[in-house]
Amino acid sequence: MNKSNNLKSVGEAPDDPHHNRRWKILGFLALAQLMVVLDATIVNIALPSAQADLGFGDADRQWIITAYALAFGSLLLLGGRMSDYFGRKRALLVGLTGFAGASALGGIAPSFEVLVGARALQGLFGALLAPAALSTLTTTFTEPGERAKAFGVYGAVAGGGGAVGLLLGGVLTEFLDWRWCMFVNIAIAIPAAIGLRRLLAGKSELKKVSLDIPGALTASLGLFGIVFGFSRAESEGWTAAVTLISLVAGILLLAAFVMIERRASAPLLPLRVVTDRNRAGSYIAVGVAGAAMFGVFLFLTYYLQQTLGFTPVETGLAFLPMIAFLMTGSVVSSTRLMPKVGPRPLVPTGMVLASLGMIWLTGVGLDSTYSSAVLPGLCLVGLGFGMIIAPSMASATLGVGAADSGVASAMVNTTQQVGGSVGTALLSTISASAVTAFASGKVPTADLAGQAAVHGYTTAFWVSAGMLAAGAVITAITLRSGAPRTESEGNLAMAH
């Protein structure tokens, strides 16, 4: 066996019990990550059916989406640190079984309130599960070549899971019932839990480390304020008191969190994790991609269904080329390019390609066809996101000691989730304003509403393109040149 295959993260045993099982472990970790990511979008298409069944109003339906986002986004950092303290295997198993239980509750929900509570519980267990899955991947694959392949697969799942959620939600809602959008998680979570329980090493010892309670409170409440504020901005407006108070409180709490972490003896988020240039640039890249991705998922879904008349299933199928290009970009950039050139040329290039794809999508119109106006742009966006997400995930967790791998992984999920929340609110508000401005002062006609809606979509695509272009510049400045350091070199640097 090649010695490079036996390089270990700090704190791991010399003989890695996971080495011979690593590819099976990757399969189950990817399955767990797919469930967490697709659950952010799978219920979107099911909302009208759920609303008709449970009888809640239009003003309430956003809470089916927001409850998951709030719990997931605000608790990720705490969930990542909990997996460091209590063991990754334990965190994975509790997260998976808890997610399955919450999904079962949502599937049988007799009322709107129970469904919202189940979605919040899904977010809570997802916040424990997602960082534990990524940190397990980080410590399982330490040989650079194999690590690149593993992150290529994992990055493809993380990037394409939202589109898979749209497809799966459409199929389940159209051919079965909206409740199966919840029940399907049980079919994913239980096999993943059984597989990981068998494959991962024995019970973890509880670490005798004090939990940073002030840090946990300020981080969770601060992230809650940010995510809640942006979600309210979408429905209430940017100048509404609830929006402004939530955003200001969130920013102040996160500022207090940074001050606490600088002085804490056992910080929730050691600042050394985020001050490394490659990690900081990677977190920025994931956040920008998360924000811009909603320009595709949200507005293109509306365009395909409301303007071109696609069914939910056809809409999901329309995203498949993007997933194919995303997977190709993810695997090729991780396995062939990342080990040679590092993240700096790849991530900014991916941003540029995705930006060009968004610009292509601004050409859609009332009479456009999918093949000419949508498909080329989707392929560019997918290829670009593949070059962004997988290399960013690998860079964000490279060189982190095993004791910090959970919280470093949590930062990846946190920036993606907060970026998505920011992007949804910002793009929705800009799109709505563009629709109003387009229709203002014009004589109402049969086509005016459709034209105004398309103008709103294309405006959102332009803003997404701008965000990605800005991300290209920022990551080109932030990320380091050259091939990434090996795991052992990163850990040695951390020790100093």
Q: Residue for token digits 């994913």?
A: 188
Q: Is the pLDDT of residue 469 over 90?
A: yes
10 Å CB burial of residue 5 (0-12, 13-18, 19+) is middle
Q: Is the pLDDT of residue 492 over 50?
A: no
Highest averaged pLDDT of the listed ranges 33-42, 159-168, 315-324: 315-324
Q: Is the pLDDT of residue 253 over 80?
A: yes
pLDDT of res. 348: 94
Q: How far apart are CA 454 and CA 92, in angstroms?
A: 43
pLDDT of res. 335: 81
DSSP assignment letter at 57: -
- The larger pLDDT score, comparing residue 157 to residue 240, is at 240
Lowest mean pLDDT among 55-59, 371-375, 451-455: 55-59
Q: Is the pLDDT of residue 444 over 90?
A: no
Q: Is the pLDDT of residue 408 over 60?
A: yes
Q: How far apart are CA 286 and CA 418, in angstroms?
A: 10
pLDDT of res. 125: 93
Q: Which two tokens stand for residue 344?
A: 């700096």
- Residue 28: CA count within 13 A, CB half-sphere: 24
At what angle are helices 88-107 and 180-199 packed, to 10 degrees? Answer: 160
Q: Mean of the pLDDT values across residues 235-251?
A: 88
Query: Going along 143-202, which residue ranges are E strands?
Result: none
Q: Is the pLDDT of residue 12 over 60?
A: no
Q: Mean of the pLDDT values across residues 152-174?
A: 79
pLDDT tens column, 277-307: 888 888 999 999 988 887 677 788 889 888 8
Q: What is the CA radius of gyration of the chain?
A: 22
- The larger pLDDT score, comparing residue 144 to residue 273, is at 273
pLDDT of res. 13: 40
Lowest mean pLDDT among 248-262, 278-292, 370-384, 411-425: 411-425
Q: pLDDT confidence of 148, banded at 50, 70, 90?
A: confident
pLDDT of res. 207: 55
How distant is the alpha carbon of residue 439 from its chain centre?
35
pLDDT of res. 58: 59
Question: Could you please report the per-residue DSSP string of 7-43?
Answer: ---TT--SS-TTGGGHHHHHHHHHHHHHHHHHTTTTT
Q: How far apart are CA 269 and CA 279, in angstroms?
A: 13
pLDDT of res. 462: 95
DSSP assignment letter at 368: -
Q: Mean of the pLDDT values across residues 397-407?
A: 72
pLDDT of res. 358: 95
Q: Vertex 492, ends 152 and 33: CA angle to 5°?
A: 25
pLDDT of res. 99: 92
Q: How far apart are CA 240 and CA 270, in angstroms?
A: 35
Burial string for 127-147 (b: 16+ CB within 10 Å, else e) reads bbbbbbbbbbbbbbbbbbebb
Q: Is the pLDDT of residue 11 over 50?
A: no
Please name the residue ranges forming H helices in 39-108.
47-54, 62-86, 88-107
pLDDT of res. 376: 95
- The larger pLDDT score, comparing residue 248 to residue 23, is at 248
Q: Which two tokens stand for residue 249?
A: 């409180």
pLDDT, the chain, mean:
82
pLDDT of res. 377: 95
Q: How far apart are CA 181 and CA 249, in angstroms?
A: 34
pLDDT tens column, 195-233: 888 888 765 545 555 677 888 889 888 888 887 888 787
pLDDT tens column, 447-460: 888 889 899 999 99
pLDDT of res. 493: 43
Q: Residue for token digits 């992230």?
A: 223
pLDDT of res. 209: 56
Q: Is 441 helix (H, G, I), strand (E, B) or coil?
A: coil
Q: How far apart are CA 228 and CA 73, in angstroms?
A: 10
pLDDT tens column, 69-117: 778 877 887 887 787 777 888 888 999 999 999 999 999 999 989 998 9
pLDDT of res. 487: 43
The pTM for the full model equals: 0.80
In the chain, pLDDT over 90 holds for what percent of residues? 23
Q: Is the pLDDT of residue 9 over 70?
A: no
